[in-house]
Amino acid sequence: MPRTALFFVPVTLLSWATTQHSLKGKMEIKLRKEVEDQLIGSLRRYWKQEEDEDLGDLRAKLFLKFILQEVGPNVYNQAIADAQAYMQDKTAEMEITCYAEESTYWAKQNKAPRR
């Protein structure tokens, strides 16, 4: 009987995925073939190292599908929340870093020496 373990898909690999949203708000993560193959190889290697068992391609593919369906949306939502917080911080900084003093023409004229 195979034992189960927790796996975490690196965010950088998920960023190579494309997401598709339906009108009902469900999200499906579709990986490019080369990324899927890389992840399947990683799962098989991990399983062999940690469980000392061979994980076949089919089992690894099914396990990856489960991870993407179960864990993927949590990682995706957290990444979106982190990106939103980052952008909000940067937007708040714009008021300070991108500020231009207004209505300065007459103030400069009044300070300039008259001829």
Within a domain: residue 2?
no
Within a domain: residue 5?
no
* Burial environment of residue 16 by CB neighbours within 10 A (0 to 12, 13 to 18, 19 or more): middle
How far apart, in whole angstroms, are the C-alpha atoms of residue 29 and residue 81? 17
Residue pLDDT, tens place only, 48-100: 999 999 999 999 999 999 999 999 999 999 999 999 999 999 998 888 888 88
Within a domain: residue 91?
yes
For residue 97, the enclosing domain spans 11-111
pTM over 0.75: no
The token pair at 46 is 């991990």
Q: Which residue has the higher pLDDT, 75 or 3?
A: 75
The DSSP line for 80-104 is: HHHHHHHHHHHHHHHHHHT----S-
Residue pLDDT, tens place only, 6-47: 344 444 444 445 555 544 566 678 899 999 999 999 999 999
* Overall domain count for the chain: 1
The pLDDT of residue 9: 44
How far apart, in whole angstroms, are the C-alpha atoms of residue 15 and residue 22? 19
The token pair at 44 is 């098989």
